[in-house]
Structure 1
């Protein structure tokens, strides 16, 4: 696991219930792995937004991780972007989705590095 640079983010993960934390940490690893694989590897800032771990790239759209009322954990993107619409067009019916804002997960086993990495890459480079 990648160490935390921001103690507030580390505390936010520690405050999550164990099943949510496990899934959110797996998504965190996928975010950093995906960023490292991109051409020109964007600098990722890990901060808190709305009390949740958030990942920002200079030319990207914010990604947030956390619990969800209908799932153990979720990957959130900006609801007014085209990210979720593009994702569901490319991967129709493959995930539980909350409108235009989140992919919902009940288990880390549901995380697909290729499919969800695709969404993460699009979010990190959204404004390019």
Structure 2
């Protein structure tokens, strides 16, 4: 498996990433790195907790409780996805800005096919919104 940045603190999460099929794993590792990078650059978020929820890697802000959970996974139809809590406005707000730029599943997920074409700038906005959701 490609070396993850930052290193995995939880061996169960690391094993879950190792179990993802390629090329989805490469995309999920890029999203993971973007989540940690965005959290580190966003005031008020604090340390992230990386754990498994429903068998998927999940990112929480337990120290500050500033955010809503972000999850990563592989949908049935293939590719890979970033999930937000469906009872928040995180994804609907993002979709209002970038309606035609991504493939969405309601207020729940953004789907991706190609890890090389991830628009990091736009995704940082989505991730920052999730990590600061309770600071509004």
- The TM-score, its normalising length taken from structure 2, stands at 0.90
Residue equivalent to 1:84: 91
Residue equivalent to 2:55: 51
Residues 91-120 of structure 1, C-alpha deviations (whole Å, 9 max, x = no match): 121100011100100011231111111000
Residue equivalent to 1:68: 75
Aligned partners of 1:37, 1:101: CA distance in 2, in Å? 25
Residue equivalent to 1:19: 23
Higher strand share: 1
Aligned partners of 2:43, 2:26: CA distance in 1, in Å? 29
Aligned partners of 1:41, 1:83: CA distance in 2, in Å? 16
RMSD: 1.0
Aligned partners of 1:71, 1:119: CA distance in 2, in Å? 22
Question: Secondary structure of the equivalent of 2:57?
Answer: strand
Question: Secondary structure of the equivalent of 2:23?
Answer: helix
For the pair 1:94 / 2:92, whether they are aligned, the reply is: no
Gaps of 5+ in 1: none
Aligned residue-pair number: 128
Measure how far apart 1:63 and its partner are. 0.3
Aligned partners of 1:40, 1:77: CA distance in 2, in Å? 19
Partner of residue 118 from structure 2, selected from 100, 107, 111: 111
- The TM-score, its normalising length taken from structure 1, stands at 0.95
Q: Conserved in 1, the CA contact under 8 Å of 2:67 and 2:134?
A: yes
Residue equivalent to 1:125: 132
